[in-house]
Each structure stands twice: as C-alpha cells, then as structure tokens.
Structure 1
Amino acid sequence: MTQDNDLMSAREGLPTGETVKLTPEQEGARNKRNIVIAWSLVGFMVAVFAITVVRLGQTAAAGAGA
C-alpha cells in the first residue's frame, strides 16, 4: 500500500455507533460547566462592547474639540 492509502484507511473520524452513557453526576457536572462557559462568553462580549463604546466615545470627544 502507498502512504496515501494508509492514511485513508485510518478509522479516525469514522462513526462506530458506540455511545457513552453518563451518570447523573457527570450530566450535572457537564451542565454546570456549560453554564459557566456560556456566562464567561457573555461576560467577554459585554466587556468588548463596553470597551468599544468607551474608546469610540473618547475618539468622538477628541475629534469634536479640534
């Protein structure tokens, strides 16, 4: 076989039909982690928006006085 065929025959990324059943504790931990990630993303977006508004306000104030 050539190297290209070896790469194509790898099972990585192919569906196997196997599933993982999480325990209720694991599901709860996953949900809490997802909530923390979501709130962190929202906080980051608010911070970027606030910084942008402040910087635009400073630029407009500097330009209006000139």
Structure 2
Amino acid sequence: MNDNGIRLTPEQERRRRQRSIAIALMLGAMVILFFVVTVVRIGGNIASHAS
C-alpha cells in the first residue's frame, strides 16, 4: 500500500510520532483548561445566585 508513496526514514518516523504525541497532549490540555474554566464560571454563577 505504501509502495508508491513517500518512504520515511526511521528518524523521520520517530519525529512524526513525537509531533503527533505533542499535538495530542496540547489538545488534551486545552480540553481540560476549557472544562476547568467552564466549571469555575458556572460555580461562580451558582454561588452568586444562592446568596
């Protein structure tokens, strides 16, 4: 299946994998950040309405 495509050296494959892992970690960090910000904002609204 990869006969007609570009052949990557082992070093290029390793770097591609490292980039993919870094992107996945950054995406996960953004999801967690958005979740925490949302919980804090909703929690703040609930606390202000409760008093």
Please report the TM-score for the alignment, with normalisation by the length of structure 1: 0.71
Pick the structure with more helix per residue: 2
1:37 has 2:17 as partner = no
Task: Among all aligned residue pairs of Structure 1 and Structure 2, give the percentage whose two residues are the same amino acid.
Answer: 41
Residues in 2 aligned to 1:61 and 1:50: alpha-carbon distance in whole angstroms: 16
Unaligned runs of 5+ in 1: 1-16
- 1:18: how far off? 3.7
Unaligned runs of 5+ in 2: none
Please report the TM-score for the alignment, with normalisation by the length of structure 2: 0.91
Q: How does 1:1-66 map to 2 (within 5 A)?
A: 18-65=4-51
Q: State which structure, 1 or 2, has the greater radius of gyration over its C-alpha atoms.
A: 1
RMSD: 1.2
**How many pairs align?**
49
Residues in 1 aligned to 2:37 and 2:27: alpha-carbon distance in whole angstroms: 15
